[in-house]
Amino acid sequence: MGTRIITTALTKGAKEVVKRHGTSRIPLRVTVGRVSVTAATVNQCKALTKFAKTLSESTPVTIKADTMSINAGARGSASAVKSAKDLAEATPPKIKCFGVSVSAGTVEKTLALLAVAAIIYASVKIVPPLIKKKVSPSPNLDGDEEEVLAPQEQTVDQIRKESTLAKYDDGQLVGKYIYKGDKAIIFSHFGTGKTVMTMGMAVDIANGRISKIVPEDNGIHSPQTVFYYDGENDTEDYVKIYGSHAVDTDNLHIIRKFYFRDVKAWLKDVREKLKYVHGDVTVILDNICCILSSFNANNIRELFLRDFTKIQRDFAPHKVTFIVVAHTNKEKELMGSNNQNNFATTVLKLSKRDDDYLQLEIIKNRKYGDMQGKSILLAKRETDDGFKYDEYVRELESSEVSHDPDDNQEFEKLCTCKADRIPDEVKQKMKDWYQKGVDGHGLGAIAKKFPEYNLKPMEVKRILESLGVEF
C-alpha cells in the first residue's frame, strides 16, 4: 500500500524525507504550531519535525479585530492581536445608508450611525427642502446627448449671478431684433437676400460692431466667436457678396461642405467647437434643412426646447445665441411645423420689395414686446470694393407693409427714404441748427426741432453726413 502524506506546506520536501525513512501502514501525525505533518513511521515524524518548526515560524497568521486584519508570524501573534485592536479603535468606521455617508471614531457607534443615516434618509424623502442639493448640471460638452433635460431650480440671487453683463444694457446683440442668448429664426422666400443680411450680421457680431440693419443699439458690444454653418452657398457666392472687401476678423468661422447624418451629429459638432471658446458665442445655421429632413412638431420641439436649451445651460454663464435660417412654404409662410414660431424666442421674416429695398417683419420678439409686429425698411447697399450689405432706412407704417414679397405696386413712393422727402432748405436748416448748437447738443435735439418729419437721431445723422458734416 502506498504511503499517505498530508502536509500544509513544503510538500516536495516532505515527500523526500518520507522516501528516505521508509513507510508504515499506520500513519502518524506531528503538529507544531499551526503546521501539521503526517508520516508512516516514527523516524519520518522526527525528521519532519524540523520542517514543521521552520514552517510554523515562517507562515503568517491572520489576526482579526473588528474591522482590522493583520498578518504576522507565529512568534508575533500576541503583539499583532493588540495592534489590530488598537487600529480598530482608532479607525473611524464609515457607514453608507441610502446614499448618505457618515463616520465616527469607534466601532460601538455603528448602530447609532445607522440610526442617524435612516433619519436623514427619511427627512430627505419626506421634507426635501431640509437638504439643499445643487441642481445645476455640470458642463457636458462631450457630445453625449441625453433624452431628458433635467429641470433647473434656482433662487433669484443664483440666477442673477450667472449674468455676464457689465451692467443692465437690454442684452442687445442685433439691436432689438435679436437678444443675447436668443433662439432666433430668420426666414424668407428663395432668392430674397437673407444670406447677404445674415452674413453681414455675422461679420458685425464677430467684430463687436453695431449692426447696420438697426436704427440704434444700446448694447455693450465686444467681439465674440461666430460659427456660421453654411450649407447653401458656393464659392462664387462669397465673391459676389464680399467682393474684394477684406473681412479682417479671426472670430468668424465659416463651416462649409458638410454632411451630418442627423441633428444629433450636428449638435455634437457644435459642442466640440464650443469646448475651445471662452466668452459669448453665436451659432448660425444656414439653413435648417441641412440637419432636419422632417419638420414635424416633435423634431422642432426637441431641437429648440431640449437641444438648444441644454447647450445654452451647459455653456453658462456665457451666452450661446442660435440663429437659424429657413425658407418659406407655398403660402409664403415659415416652412415646417408651427412649433418653430412657438418655441423660438425671435422670428424675423425678410421680403423683397424691389431691386433696391427689403422689408423685415418682426413676427415674434419675446424680449422686446414693443417690437413685435413692426416692419422695417432696409436698403440694399454696396461699398466701392463690392461688399454687399443691408442698411436700416426707417420703420414702415402699417399701410405700407406688403405681405406679398412679389407685390411691388407703387413701391417707389413707399420706400423713399424720409431724407429724400425733406426739402433741401429744411436740410440746410438742420445743418445750421446743429453747427450753431441747440438745447441737448445732439442729434435727438435736432430731430425734435422738426417733429413734422418724425425723424430718428440716426436719420438726422445721415442727412447731415450728406451735407458734409463730419462726426
Give the CA-trace dihedral at 256, 257, 262, 265, to 10 degrees. -60
Is the pLDDT higher at 198 or at 54?
198
Q: Alpha helices, DSSP H only, in 130-231?
A: 156-161, 194-207
Q: Is the pLDDT of residue 389 over 70?
A: yes
Q: pLDDT tens for residues 397-450?
A: 888 887 664 554 444 444 445 556 678 888 888 888 887 776 555 777 878 777
Percentage of the chain modeled with pLDDT above 90: 25
Confidence of residue 349 (pLDDT cuts 50, 70, 90): very high
How long is the chain?
Answer: 471
**Interior angle at CA 107, CA 103 and CA 113, nearest 5:** 40
Closest CA to 106 of 70, 69, 68: 68
- Please tell me the distance from the alpha carbon of residue 368 to that of residue 122, in angstroms, as a whole number: 47
Cα of 118 vs its chain's centroid, Å: 38
Least reliable range by pLDDT among 5-14, 110-119, 121-130, 204-213: 121-130
Give CA separation, 88 vs 33, 64, 85, 107, 190, in Å.
26, 9, 5, 7, 79
Mean pLDDT score, 112-123? 57
Is the pLDDT higher at 220 or at 344?
344
Architecture of the domain spanning 158-408 = 3-Layer(aba) Sandwich (3.40)
Q: Is the pLDDT of residue 339 over 60?
A: yes
- Please tell me the distance from the alpha carbon of residue 283 to that of residue 270, in angstroms, as a whole number: 8
Least reliable range by pLDDT among 134-138, 325-329, 444-448, 457-461: 134-138
Could you list the beta-strand ranges (E) of 232-290: 252-255, 281-286
Query: How much is the pLDDT for 412?
Result: 43
Mean pLDDT score, 219-231? 89
Q: Is the pLDDT of residue 125 over 50?
A: no
Confidence of residue 109 (pLDDT cuts 50, 70, 90): low
Q: Alpha helices, DSSP H only, in 275-370?
A: 297-301, 309-315, 339-343
Is the pLDDT higher at 195 or at 295?
195
Helix (H) or strand (E) holding 427: helix 424-436
Query: How much is the pLDDT for 177?
Result: 93
Helix (H) or strand (E) holding 166: none
- Please tell me the distance from the alpha carbon of residue 431 to that of residue 426, in angstroms, as a whole number: 9
Q: Is the pLDDT of residue 10 over 50?
A: no
Domain boundaries along the sequence of the chain: 11-59, 63-126, 158-408, 417-471
Confidence of residue 20 (pLDDT cuts 50, 70, 90): low
Q: pLDDT tens for residues 355-379?
A: 899 999 999 998 888 888 999 999 9
